[in-house]
Structures are given as C-alpha cells and as structure tokens.
Chain A
Amino acid sequence: MKTPCVKPILFWPLFLIGALLLLARGYTGAGAQGSSIGITGADFARTVQTADSTALRDSLTTVLPRIVIAFADKNRQEILSYPVGMVGDVTAPNVTNLQVAVNAANRSATITWLTDEFAQTLLSYGRQPSTYDQSFTDARYAKQHTALITNLTLGNYYFIIRSTDRDGNQGTTTESNFTVADAPPPTPTLPPGVQLRTIQPAEGLTSQATNVTVSGSGFAAGVSAALQRGKGTYPLTAISVASPTQLQATIPTSLPAGLYDLVVQTSAGQRATLANAFSVLAGTPQLLEVLPKQGMSDLSNEISLHGFNFAVGAVARLGETLLPTTRINGNQVLAVIPAGLAAGKYDVVVVNPDNQQGMLTKGYAVYDNTSNNDLFGYSFELWSIPGAPRAGETTQIGLYVHRQGGKSTLPSVKVRFLLGNGSGSTLSEAALPFIDPAKGFEGTPPVDVIFPAAGEIILTAVIDPDNAISEDNEANNVITRTLTVAAPGADRTPPVVTDIQINGGAPQTSDTAINVAVSATDPAPNPSGVKSAYLVEYVFNSAVNQWMPIQQSGWLSYDETPDYYGWNLRPIAGMHYLQVRALDQANNISVGAARAQISYAPPSDTLGRGQTRIYRYTVAAGQQLRVRLEPISGDPDLYVWSSNVAQSARVSNNEQGNEQVLVPANEIVAGTYQIEVYGYTTTEYRLIVEIGAPSLSAAATTQQPKSPTAKTPPIAPVLAITNTPDDRQGAPPSPPANQTTVIRQLFLPLVRR
C-alpha cells in the first residue's frame, strides 16, 4: 500500500468492535429515550436501524490473539516443525549438574539441572521412595532446566527426572531426594543503640561460675553487665566485647536461686534489659504455683508450673501420672494434663533427674465434666485502682470470680474483702449479680476502701464467705495478694503507656526471642517522670476459657522513650498479649489497658483432642489473607473468623490432607482476623499465614479439594474476637524501694484449708 508519509493508525476493525461494545451496553443514541430529535437547518439526516449483533459478537469471541499488521505490502507465516526423520537422533538426553535448593520458609524446592541437548521437563516426586504421585511438567525445550515445586510439607521427598528430546528419546534419572526442614527463624533487626537479644546459656548453678555469651547490638568497649533480681544486683565479670553484636562474660558463683534480668550498660550510660534472662539453680526444687489450677476431666489442659531449681530434665507429675513436660528454665515448666483423669484433687510434683522433687499438695483439681460446681479466683485478678493505693485516699478494689461447672445461673454471689490474711478485718463486701454455669466469669462491682496508713499490706478476698453455695471444692475461695500503700504525695496522676511495639509491629514470630518497645509518659499535674515498666505475658487457655499470665517481669528501669526490652515468649503457640504498666517516680502505676499482641507460630505445634489454638492477625483493606494448615499427624481443622460478628467462620475441615482458607482482598473485613486451629483428634500441625497484596502467589488461590466430612462447623468463635486480657488483670507488684532496684513478684495463691 502506498502512502505519501507515515500513515495514521486507523484500525477500523477496532472501531467496529467499539461500536459493538456500545451496542452491547444498550447504547441507542439520544433519541432512544422516547423523545424526538429536533433537527434544524441540516442539509441531510439519516437514521440507521441497528441490527441484532449477538451472532457477530459470538463470532468475535473466537478470534485468538494475533499479530496485527497494517499497510504492509505482503506477509507470510510459516509453522515451524522439527525435522525428526532427518536428524534421526537415537540418544536420550544426559542429565548433569542436578541441584536442589529447599526454601523451607516458603515450603518450596527449586530443582535445577542441565541436559546436553534441548529437552522437555517432567519431574515426578512423592513422599515415598519409588512412589511419585505428583509431578512438575514443562513442555518447553531447554538445556537449563528449573522446576519449582511448591506447597511442600515437612519431611523427605523423592524424585526422578524424565527428559525427552525433540526426537522423542527419553532418559530417566535415578531417584534423588531432598528434605524439607524447618527454616531457622530470621533474626529481627534490632533498634539502634544497645539492645539485648539472648544469653547463652540461660541458666547456671549457684555453686559454680558460668561463662555466658550475650547477643544483641551496640556493644562496645567499656560496657558493663549485671544480673538483677528484686533488690539485688550482681555484676558480671570478665566482660569481653567480641563484636558489636556479641559479648562474653562470667556470672559469678553464690547467687541465690531464682530468675534474673540481665542489664547491660554502655560507658555512655545507655542501658538495655533482657527480662527473665538467667536462671540460677541451687538445690532442691520448689514448686510454688500451678496455672491454671483446675480443669475438666474431658479435656486435656496445658498448665504452667512456677518455682525454683527445676533442673534440666525435670518432669512434672500429677499424682502418679507423668505429664508431658517442657522445661522453660529453672523456674518454670509447662506440662499437659491429659483428658480422662478421674475427678479429684491431685498433688502436683516437679521431679529433677536426681529424684529431688518439689510438690504442691492438692495443687490441681480435675472436675467431672458432667457434675460439679466450684467458685474460685486468682490473685492476679484481685485488683485495685490505683494500682498503688495511697494512704488515706479512696481506692477501688474488686475481684474476678470464676465458676467451674454447675447447672444453672447462680444469683448474688458474695465476696468479702479483708485487710490482712483470711482472719483479718473486713474492709467491705460486694456481690456478683449472677454468674453463669460451666465456665462462668464475672467481676464484682468496684468497692471503695481507704487504707489508713502507708506500708505493705495483705489484701484478701473471700468468695462465698458464708458458705451459702455448695461447692465441690470449698478450699479455693480465699484469694490473697500483697499491696504497697504509698504515702500521700504531690504527683497523684498515674503515668500512661502510650505505645507498645513488639518486633517493630510484626504480626507474628517463629522465634520466642522478641523485642518490646515501650513508650510512656507521666502527665501533669506535678509529673514526677516515668521510672519503670512492668510486663505481663498472657496466653489464652481454651481448656479453662481463661487468659493466663504465663510470665511477668519485675519493674524494669525505664530510661528513654521508647525504651526497648528483650523478652522471650513462652513457647506456647498462638496469640500472646503483652500488657504493660508504667510506674512514675511518685509510685503511681498506670492501668493495664496498654497491651499489644503477637502471634507465635513455631514450625510445628501439638494439640490434644478438642483443644483449640487461637491466632490473631490484623488485615488491612486491600490485602488478602491466606491460611494454610498442614497436619503432620492427626486431624486438625481450621476456622477463620473476621471481626464482623454477623459472618460465620470460613471453614476448612477436611478429614485428611492440608487445610486452607483464602480470604480474597475484595472480601476482607479490615481489622482483626481470628484463626482457630481445632484438634479434631490429637494432632501435630504447622500453620502458615500470609497477609499481603492480592498478588500473593497464584498457588494461593488453589483450594484443597474438599473431602466428604461429617464435621459440624462451630457457630461462634471459641473466644470472642474482641476478648482480650482485662485492664484490671495482672496485678502489678509493689513499686521498688528505689530507682535502681528491680522487684519480682510471683503470684502465690494462699489457700485456706
């Protein structure tokens, strides 16, 4: 075609398509509204009746993509075809340089190899030798081959490669294998300045010095380090800075048994604290507390045992029943009470490998799941506002009361508050309006009291003091805690915790070592300045339907805003809340409304039958959420709840195989999502949660095929999605006597028998 110059782009077929689109949208022109078109002064007007273009539209849908050419003089297209008969190759491709790179974090493997001629790829793989039930295929010819295998689970994989050249010759490799193992958790980036991350070893005997390695950042010559506990400070010796991220030191002998914070200070005065960092063991184990202290006979229950001198290899026992035990340190072990035990009260025992043992007599109660009735409470739920009362001023006190079992709602349950232990003088009384059966949980109305004098006091609450209610266990109705009543002062306004950032706001961690940034301020009038922070770690125990304070700090020195604290989560999978209180120089304590959450997702977790593990994630508008649950053994089910209470759960409860829930971006309810992993049977599983842009891997959109199941999905979440540890829970310890000491408090239940 001839043109005098470069021609404009006029694809009239496109114009036709555009016209058809207008037709398809019902466009009929201005006159289609029923009114006439007024035309004045025109030389000519023409009306064209549009025809039904459905058939043409249907035909156009069959047009495949093509190279569009305009104005060319001529073109020619040829189909390319390999001359099989001419080449006559009878040799199969030879595979070399076979390499496997496993990405444990993404659960994928990249397998690469070379062939000595162009060949197609067929990689067959499976979990058992010589059994290949899955495959990766690439029909394109290449000499450098890459097979990306996704959606893997932990364990061994076996594979072979079949290479087929252009002449159809096929070669098969011998079997190779690889293993998908857990990826080491990434080391989070620490904030600037001196920070602490870990100490290794994290415990030692009082009878001998312990050489330790401290990891963190900002270490430099001139740094000092000490262990702190209560009012005691114990400097470390032989401090040597190996690098800005590592220092070595020696913990001296003769430290009292217990759990210590590690405090490191630079020569410039910067200070960092790793809470509950080092455990000193000395002699016979002592068991002081069991949390929770009761459970139902039909459910297994995860309990936390606190005390001293739990040696490496220590195991927990309930009566004569040996419990699966996870030792955290010399002061804490976790254990699992199995389902099916007979109802009754059991001694709880921690036994060291040398057979020395610490025991809490009748420290745990197993309730019959069909007939029981018990009221009880915890010292960490005996609260006061302000947290540090002032002599002569009104203080509000109260108690949360739990009810185990029962058949009907109990009205008007009385609670009596005493100054002193169980035989002390009565301060006041309050009554719960009602408390429901089963796992009921109610708080008393606030009671106004005045403590006449400054000093340390014992506050006691007695549930059902007149024994008006018949209970299976009457011995757990007295709750006691220690409070320090401060002298009147000018600064009566408690400080405020304004922000808490866990690992910089990360939604989850697979490493228990985390970093907590706390920002606090002491408002007017008469601000004395923030002095300390107090951290409590909560996990939710679904067996008893209760938030459990699994770990507390002492009062940690607050030196700057924000101040960073190293923290080791207790290794319990699921959501962990950190509640932070601040203390000012006048010993005012903030309320417990400040808290932050992070989900701990270890490489694998175990659940008993009927148990639920809860994770929470924040998902923003425009993001999508993908949750994948991989059973390693047993049958876990997956339920995902949004913050819209009107929505039912997204369910994946196959009877075998992986579970997966995908919430696409256009269906996201911005806010918190609660992920519940339910042990349909006793199970070991791995949970993978991905939150991000809708461009998450295409594989993410692939749902597992549903197998027939008779399981009934829940109609409500195990825990309301707005349910968090209460502001008044986690009663803080008494303020330290001076600015440099650190006080630790374990909640010790006083049981009146």
Chain B
Amino acid sequence: MTKPITRITYGGLLLLCLLLLSFTPGATRTQPSAAIRLRVPAFVSVAQAQADALVVPSAVAAINALVDEAGIAAYFNRGGSINLSQVKGIYRTVEQETNQHLIGSVQVKATSYTYPETEDVHLYVNTNGWVMAYYLNADPVGKIFDAAQFDGGSVNTKLEIVLGRAATAIGVGSGFTPTFYDFRYPNATHLLIIGEKTNQPVDAFQVNLPSSFTFLERGWSHWTNPQGGTTHCTFNRCKLKLNDVDVNTGTKPDDGKYGTLTAAQLAAGQTHTISLHDEFTSATIYSTGGLVLIYREMP
C-alpha cells in the first residue's frame, strides 16, 4: 500500500515543480506550438518586405522562401481549390498561415505505424490546389524511405504518407499521384530507392552504378526492428554495412538512421554489397534498410 502512495506523492511534487517552473520569468524551456508561431523565420520577413515593395503577392514570396529551405519533396495538385481549414487539423505545428497557404510539420502516421516526431514532414498547402510534403534541405534524402513499414513489398515514402493524410483531409483520398523533386539538385533527373528487409542474421543486395550517370546524393537508410526487445540490438548486433564495412550500428529497436555515402565509398563502375545484419530477427521481427539515390542520367 505504501508504494502507490509514494508514487502519487512524488508525482504530485513533480507536477507542482513543473507548473512553478512554467511561470518563472526567463524560463528556457521550449515553448509549445502557440509560442513558435510568434517566431516567424527571418527569411519570411525579408521575403515579405521585398514582396510588399515589389507589390508581389505574399504567397510568391513565401514559396520563394520555401524553395530555398526545401530539400526532397513530393507534391500534387488536387485540380481545384482547397479549404485550408480542412487540412489544418493534421498539422502538428503550423509555421505560417495566411489566407492562401499553410506551412508546418505533420506527423508521419500510417494505419499501423506512427513514426516519432523526428521524422515529421513539412507540408505546404495552398488554396490554389497545391500540396507539397518535403524535408528540409539539411535532411539527407535517405530520410524519406518508409523503412519501418517496409516488408519487402512496395517501397513507400514518408512524404507520401503525409500527402495521403493531407489528401484524405481535403477529400481527395487516394486519388492523387505524387511527383517528386529535390530542390537542392536542380539537375537531378531521377530518384531511386532500393529496399532490403531481413528476418535472418544477414541479408544483402548488390548494386553497380554506371559511370555515365552523375550521382548527386548517395543516401542510405537503416531501421532496426520495430518489434524487437530493448536488448535486441545490444552487442552491436544490428548493423548496416557497405562492402562489409560498418555504415550504421543500431543501438535500440525501432530506431531509424540515415545518412549519405561518399562518391569514394559507393564508387561508380564497381559492384557494391549492402548488407543488413540482425542476429535476432525472425519471420515477424525484422530490420530494414537500403539506398536512396538522387542522380542525373547524363554527365
């Protein structure tokens, strides 16, 4: 009987402390989303000032700023106007809201799996029908791979999950076809995702990049098994390797990492082996990973 009381007492003290702290002047704790909305990014202010001076619609200034901040993106146009109030509800945070558009971040939430907030996707929705999901230009392209849900079947992206949520909200449902673009690489022509899943200790695939292509980003993605126990990945048992050299070592289950490989690591004209290592996998518990390449099919 004493233990629950103790827990409640400690919990109450903790809650009281947090409340006091939240009202203390000068507190440095991260503010909730309402406070973030007050801190409009500097580039938006500048763009707005220039837009006012040039009598350019503010939406154009905003999209110009977006073009500068965006990296890999997927978009569609619903072919008609959008009521922003319909879609506003799916935002975790709203960074900018005007009569014409919404910009903010949206949780990557699918039917059977929800990614942590580190995977949130930015979403731009305009009343003129445009919907675009994107990661910021600092994020590696490997981040888009919906690795946690990859079962060896279709290859999906987190961007499409968020586009799907937006589409559902505005009444389009699954009736949209996404188009991809990477604002960092205006000369790229293609995106390629190669997915691998293992439910055995080691599984691998091989890839050979043609020398005649220009590779603008060689991304990788690695997701440790979502159903694994807390000790699942101890003792360096969850790994993604390139040519038998460690690229990533997972330290806990249900954790994603992504990054980029150098041109020397994934050189063109050579056959490379990308292997997933997981000693505790089973038919239902698995790790996933793969490559995400942005390239140009000409020099």
Contact = CB atoms under 8 A, between A and B. Distances in A.
A3 B181 contact: no
Given A72-B194, A77-B192, A82 B273 contact: no
A73 interface: yes
Interface in A82-111: 82-83, 85-91
Given A81-B180, A118-B186, A89 B64 contact: yes
Given A67-B293, A74-B152, A87-B63, A6 B187 contact: no
Nearest to B290: A72
Interface in A1-48: 1-7, 9
Of the candidates B152, B153, B205, B210, the one having the most CB atoms from chain A within 10 angstroms of its own CB is B205
Interface in B62-87: 63-64, 67, 73, 75, 77
Which of the four size classes fits the interface of chain B? 35 or more
Contacts of A65: 210, 212-213, 297
B126 A86 contact: yes
A468 interface: no
Contacts, number: 138
A2 B283 CA distance: 12
B45 to A, nearest CB: 18
Interface string B274-292: 0100000000000000100
A78 B191 CA distance: 5
A81 B64 contact: no
B180 A80 contact: yes
Contacts of B200: 2, 4
A79 interface: yes
A9 to B, nearest CB: 5
B123 to A, nearest CB: 13
B155 A85 contact: no
Given A73-B197, A86-B77, A78 B180 contact: yes
Given A69-B205, A77-B190, A83 B155 contact: no
Contacts of B213: 65, 67
A594 B278 CA distance: 80
Given A67-B293, A87-B67, A88-B60, A72 B196 contact: yes
Given A9-B271, A69-B205, A82-B186, A74 B181 contact: no
Binding site secondary structure of chain B: strand
Interface string A216-230: 000000000000000
B154 A74 contact: yes
A67 B200 CA distance: 26
A650 interface: no
A73 B275 CA distance: 12
A9 B213 CA distance: 22
Contacts of B187: 140-142
B33 interface: no
A79 B154 contact: no
B261 interface: no
Given A6-B202, A86-B130, A76 B155 contact: yes
Contacts of B77: 85-86
A89 B190 contact: no
A140 B298 CA distance: 11
B189 A71 contact: no
Contact of A71 (B126, B153, B181, B205): B205
A4 B63 CA distance: 50
Given A86-B75, A86-B132, A73 B190 contact: no
Given A77-B191, A80-B189, A85 B206 contact: no
A166 B180 contact: no
Contacts of B297: 65
B132 A2 contact: no
Interface string B50-63: 00000010011001
Nearest to B192: A77
A83 B195 contact: no
A88 B196 CA distance: 39
A206 B206 CA distance: 86
Given A82-B181, A82-B186, A83-B132, A71 B204 contact: yes
A136 B107 CA distance: 47
A699 interface: no
A619 to B, nearest CB: 32
Contact of A67 (B192, B275, B290): B192
B206 A7 contact: yes
A71 B272 CA distance: 12
B244 interface: yes
A438 to B, nearest CB: 59
A75 B193 contact: yes
Contacts of B155: 74-76
Contacts of A737: none
A683 B73 CA distance: 62
Interface string B134-175: 000000000000000010111100000000000000000000
A715 interface: no
A90 B179 CA distance: 22
Interface string B204-243: 1111111011000000000000000000000000000000
A70 B190 contact: no
Contacts of A80: 180-182, 185, 188-191, 294
Contacts of B205: 1, 69-73
Which of the four size classes fits the interface of chain A? 35 or more
A141 B273 contact: no
B281 to A, nearest CB: 11
Contacts of B194: 69, 72, 74-75
A91 B60 CA distance: 10
A6 B59 CA distance: 52
A4 B60 CA distance: 55
A68 interface: yes
Nearest to B145: A76
A65 B150 CA distance: 28
Contacts of A76: 154-155, 192-193, 195
Nearest to B60: A88
Contacts of B295: 67
A66 interface: yes
Contacts of B185: 80
Interface string A167-196: 000000000000000000000000000000
Given A75-B194, A80-B182, A5 B64 contact: no
A68 B191 contact: no
Given A3-B204, A70-B205, A75-B195, A81 B179 contact: yes
Contact of A79 (B60, B73, B190): B190
Nearest to A66: B210
Interface string A421-448: 0000000000000000000000000000
Contact of B203 (A2, A67, A75, A141): A2
Contacts of B60: 88-90
A68 B187 CA distance: 22
A77 B56 CA distance: 37
Contacts of A66: 210
Nearest to B189: A80
A77 B208 CA distance: 15
Of all A-B residue pairs in the complex, the 10 with the closest CB atoms, nearest first, are A141-B186, A72-B205, A76-B155, A65-B210, A68-B208, A73-B152, A86-B130, A118-B186, A71-B205, A78-B191
24 contacts: A3-B204, A4-B200, A6-B273, A7-B204, A7-B206, A65-B210, A67-B210, A67-B213, A67-B295, A68-B210, A69-B205, A72-B194, A72-B195, A72-B196, A73-B205, A74-B155, A74-B195, A75-B193, A75-B195, A79-B189, A82-B186, A83-B75, A86-B126, A90-B56
Given A4-B200, A67-B207, 15 more contacts: A7-B206, A9-B271, A65-B297, A68-B210, A69-B207, A72-B194, A73-B196, A73-B205, A74-B195, A80-B191, A81-B179, A83-B130, A83-B132, A86-B75, A89-B64
Interface of A: 1-7, 9, 65-83, 85-91, 118, 140-142, 166
